Structure 1
């Protein structure tokens, strides 16, 4: 993917609307990656102004798919300063939010961010519990296999080689 990503960056390097960048999440960019919710690599995030949270890119990772996405989806998004970029549905919601006073809008935004953070934390806690349960089950299975192996080997060895094993009933 790296060669296609680099080619994409080269194609749009002079674009006034699009910036293609890489961030090393294991080094200096770690705090940015943590803030952006990057959990695996490679992760592609995109931001359309005025979006500061970013969205996960879910499309194809070959050069033609990346180019098509940049050309059709990236650029300034719907905002109070760019209403021409809004769909009818977005305009309706945007107008509703514009009519709110700043405190109400800020409170709603913070409430939604808090709810998302709490849901993410609960999800991560559940994931930890599931991983612990899986590990316990895996360890128990491995122990059973290890403990049973000598007996299974001897049971198989107890059948004389000239005698066939009992026939299996099949349905």
Structure 2
């Protein structure tokens, strides 16, 4: 009986840790696979809501040779992974080559997630799967491979800066639009208030009364 209890406890622990990715196991777990990852925080309400469907998805792909569904706790051992992947909110879902993940913006029901995973978590063109690349991508990979580490780092930084600048511009413009909206809304409210205070209501009441008088005549 004691042995059975220990066995069940071990099985439960293994299930609880299934799909958990950290800085220590990232390379080993994701090597050669196309992945779908949930970056989360345990206290996040939306993360808690998504958990049952996400755990079900992890189970559906458990043991898959070329696809992996994973969890990264951004408040624990997975924090460096979250920082490296630019995670700013929870939960953040990303997919693709482990070295270059893309944001997932689709629906988050189990059926939608499963459909996306079935259609997209396949071996894709990458330096580790170069045989899946077309001629243009192979040439691009060859060009980047030939670059020195310093030049490659500089090129990556340049492109990431473009993304960062675009995000900053978007946020700044949204703030400007918000201020413009607030100013226009205030002007509209003030004009409406002035018009009403100028006697518009009484004008309409007098007009209605006059119309009644004309009908009586």
Same fold (TM over 0.5): yes
Q: For 1:139 and 1:7, how far apart are their aligned partners in 2? A: 50
Give RMSD over aligned pairs: 3.2
Choose which of 89, 98, 107 in structure 2 pairs with 1:49.
Answer: 98
1:99 aligns with 2:149: no
Paired residue for 2:131?
84
Paired residue for 2:183?
136
Q: Is the 8 A contact 2:61 2:68 kept in 1?
A: yes
Query: Across the two proteins, how many residue pairs are aligned to each other?
Result: 156
Q: For 2:92 and 2:204, how far apart are their aligned partners in 1? A: 51
Structure (1 or 2) with the greater helix fraction: 2
SS state at 1:158 partner: helix
Per-residue deviation, residues 74-131 of structure 1 (Å, max 9, x unmatched) = 2565332221343443222111211222221111111111222122212211111111
Q: CA deviation at 1:58?
A: 3.6
Q: Is the 8 A contact 1:44 1:56 kept in 2?
A: yes
Q: Comparing both chains, which one has the higher relative contact order based on Cα–Cα distances under 8 Å and sequence gaps of 6 or more?
A: 2
Q: For 1:47 and 1:152, how far apart are their aligned partners in 2? A: 63
Choose which of 54, 71, 87 in structure 2 pairs with 1:36.
Answer: 87
